Amino acid sequence: MSGRRTIQRSAIIEVIYDATGPLRLEEILELASRKVPTLGIATVYRHLKRLQDAGEVRAVELDINDVRYEPTGQDHHHHFLCRACGDAFNIHECPKGIAKLALPGFEVDEHQVTLYGRCSDCSSSK
Amino acid sequence: MSGRRTIQRSAIIEVIYDATGPLRLEEILELASRKVPTLGIATVYRHLKRLQDAGEVRAVELDINDVRYEPTGQDHHHHFLCRACGDAFNIHECPKGIAKLALPGFEVDEHQVTLYGRCSDCSSSK
DNA sequence: ATAGATGCAAAGAGTTTGCATAGGT
DNA sequence: ACCTATGCAAACTCTTTGCATCTAT
């Protein structure tokens, strides 16, 4: 999982790790471009793929056509997607006993919970 | 908002309504093609879009690059995705008080729960 | 000095659209 | 008869890949 320490790679990784929730590819490109203006989109695609293959980053899809990337290594968490501003937030609580919802005979080894609505900023400024 | 009653339209609608869980576009094309062999993929795309715009069908994405379509009008439910065979199943139970997981100030008006694992067929035939 | 990383542009894959024709009303 | 729906192929969009160059080691 080495790879060379290029400024592009560092910029992309920093952006993903500094985020408070999962980011879209365009957001990663936009934010990392501030640090490395020549950054090309193919490089972002390539690093996201490498980071996923290395198990350091995971893709989550909170809505249709809305793939976002977040570091693995975070505590178990879920997501809130604001339908007004489009931002995604991490939720650190988890409903208990959720695996018991499965039908008999079904083995559950993972689950995902996503809440949709308006974030605090958007709900206060209607 | 009706539209003409063509055999293509009927076939597509039947396939979606007869399914026990949300279907992928290719599955809809494949199943509806048995009834209408000349069916073109563009027609499936067009009907899915129309049905969604009319609020009769909804798209759900249970995993990355895995858009599936299901009728609205079903009771509130969630999904189980089998990682072995790729089939999606509806879950009719729902964890209570899930909206309370949101941070203070966040308004929740919808939620989605997805379980991942092995369905009963796949877990018994390991 | 060498081999991996980058950026560009071309190639793929998936989805949408334009258009002539078929078919529902 | 009219006018929408269909199927094909072209156009788009998003993602991946090839290649010459650059750069970290």
- State the pLDDT at residue A2: 72
- Average pLDDT of adjacent 10-residue blocks, chain B of 126 residues: 90 97 97 98 98 97 96 96 95 92 96 97 89
Residue type, position B50, single letter: R
> What span, in angstroms and rounded, lies between the C-alpha atoms of A24 and A64?
13
Q: How far is the CA of B21 from the C1' of D2 (A)?
A: 40
The number of angstroms, rounded, from the C-alpha of A47 to the middle of its chain's C-alpha atoms is: 14
For residue B74, which phi and psi values (nearest 5 degrees)? -70, 160
The strand C neighbours among A residues 60-99, by Cβ under 7 Å, are: none
* pLDDT one-digit tens code per residue, B43-68: 999 999 999 999 999 999 999 999 99
Q: For B111, phi and psi rounded to 5 degrees?
A: -155, 160
| Predicted model pTM | 0.93
B119 touching A (Cβ < 8 Å):
yes
Q: How far is CA A11 from CA A21, A68, B4, B47, in A?
A: 17, 17, 54, 43
The pLDDT score that the predictor gives to residue A63 is 94
Neighbouring residues of A95: CB distance < 8 A, sequence distance ≥ 6? A113, B95, B97, B98, B101
Q: Which nucleotides of D are covered by protein (CB under 7 A)?
A: 4-9, 15-18, 23-25
